[in-house]
Amino acid sequence: MANGTVVPDRTEWHNIVVWRSLAEFSEKYIKKGSQLFIEGKIKTRSYDDKTGNKRYITEIYGDTVQLLGKREASDNAGTPSQPMANQEPVVNATPFDGAPADAADDLPF
């Protein structure tokens, strides 16, 4: 583009895995469309699907989650949105090397 702005030509979705306090924070504050900064490790693993085909999945194991942007407007009409700084914008977790032993029960396949 002439003004130097880069426009992505496609959307990419990523699977994010968080545990303990990060999971509780995510459940409470993150909604569809939330802008996030996530820092962690990228891990790829394989599994066999129901038909026996080997599948691969890449996940980001989050160590830090930070909310970006602004909070949703309040119920009061005409009240401007408040910055996310009024909520707990950053949550760090102890580095985690893998899923708990019973995590296989939570897999969606």
In this prediction, residue 25 carries a pLDDT of 92
Q: What is the pLDDT of residues 48-86, one digit of tens each?
A: 999 999 999 999 999 999 999 876 554 444 434 444 444
Domain assignment of residue 44, yes or no = yes
> Is 8 inside a domain boundary?
no
Residue 88 within a domain: yes
User: DSSP assignment, residue 25?
Assistant: H
Q: Is residue 22 part of a domain?
A: yes
Question: Which amino acid belongs to residue 47?
Answer: Y
Q: How many domains, in total, are found in the chain?
A: 1
Q: Which amino acid is at 15?
A: N
Torsion sign over Cα 13, 87, 65, 99: negative
For residue 6, tell me if it sits in a domain: no
Residue 9 within a domain: no
Q: Kindly state whether residue 37 falls inside one of the protein's structural domains.
A: yes
Is the full-model pTM beyond 0.85? no
Question: For residue 102, is it within any domain?
Answer: no
Residue 18 burial (CB < 10 Å; 0-12/13-18/19+)? Answer: buried
Range of the domain at 57: 15-72+79-94
- We report the CATH number of the domain holding residue 37 as 2.40.50.140
